[in-house]
Structure 1
Amino acid sequence: MDTSKKVYIAGPLFSEGELDFNTKLKEAIEKKGFAVYLPQENSEDNVHMRHEHKQNYIFQKNVEIIDDSDIIIAVLDGADVDSGTSWEIGYAYAKGKSIFGLRTDFRTLGSEGMINLMIDQSADAIAFDIPGVLEILEQ
């Protein structure tokens, strides 16, 4: 396991539950020794900054952090993957970053599978719980 690698967590951050889950995921990854970037903290992506019309700042900061990261952990929960998370996955894929998905949501997209095929094919691996993400990172 190379803990010198930097991890960016992509995922929705619009509810208290999402914010708490992101923090829980970050703390678990940090315990394994990785440096972790979390947009709700590191790019100040929060309701206050959005009300202040700092969208360009948030966007540029997240792009810089993705560029500086080695690994993207993308939270894929929901009936459909969060649109911002989908963009981050696509950008990271184009940049040649390692992308690992995390889907704790048991809903499926019918006979097509659990997530959009473009997201599925962009990911190097998908885990179904936080221990599974940690196992992927240890490989």
Structure 2
Amino acid sequence: MLRVYCAGPLFNAGERAEMDSIASVLEQSGFATFLPHRDGLEFAQLKPALEQCGASPNEAVSMLNEAIFALDTYQLLRRCDVIVANLNGRVPDEGTVVEATLAWHSGKPLILFKTDVRSMLNGSDNPMVTGLGDFETIDDLSALPAAIGRVVARHSSEKVTETLDLGASIASLRADSDSVSALAATLYQIRFQERKP
């Protein structure tokens, strides 16, 4: 059974309810999930308990920040097989972006989920974020289980290397010529070659 790390904003009841819905749809489809606010550490409960143990308020915050980072990173990188990153909001939650980046860099399959049409770039999200999910965003909650199957089936652990190689080629082109048309023609040719059977 694949285990899915559900990344997303958790700062109010609506955001937590949306994350609960994502986990529920995945669990009903046979996936195990890690949902940080449900399965992780609860800051509001642990801080007073740490203070009762003798930690100052600042020490308690520091310990909890480190513990939350360590637990969530462990779950994401070692325990979970796939990551679903909820990008809803005018801009994606910064913690979610970090989790998606960790997933991408570690070579884990990643699905970007977004039903919110707001964005900073006239309907498009930042390509540095959407690139983490191969520029594909799922906008239907019921489509997430099938998307996980597709992404896992086509996933390549070489994605980071492939992206770095492409970036090196583009950097070399930029160094060799300031011609926008030459750069565009080469980028088009690279894309065309990728699509050949």
TM norm structure 1: 0.88
Match of 1:123 among 123, 133, 136: 133
Look up the equivalent residue of 1:117 and give its one-letter code: P
Matched, 1:56 2:58: no
1:60-92 C-alpha deviation (Å, 9 max, x unpaired): 000110012111000001111100000001111
Could you say if the C-alpha distance between residues 29 and 46 of structure 1 is closer, same or farther in structure 2, counting changes exceeding 3 Å?
Answer: farther
Q: Which has the higher helix share?
A: 2
Match of 1:29 among 26, 37, 61: 26
Give matches, 1:2-41, under 5 Å.
4-41=1-38
Of structures 1 and 2, the larger Rg is shown by 2
| CA root-mean-square deviation | 1.7
Look up the match of 1:43: 40
TM norm structure 2: 0.64
Match of 2:82 among 71, 82, 97: 71
Count matched residues.
Answer: 135
CA distance in 2, matches of 1:130, 1:83: 22
Structure 1 counterpart SS, 2:119: coil
Contact 1:6 1:37 in 2 (8 A): yes
Unaligned runs of 5+ in 2: 49-59, 151-197
CA distance in 2, matches of 1:93, 1:8: 13
Q: Which has the higher strand share?
A: 1
> Sequence identity of aligned pairs in percent?
27
Further displaced range: 6-15 or 122-131: 122-131
Unaligned runs of 5+ in 1: none
1:37-70 C-alpha deviation (Å, 9 max, x unpaired): 0000121244434675211111100011001211
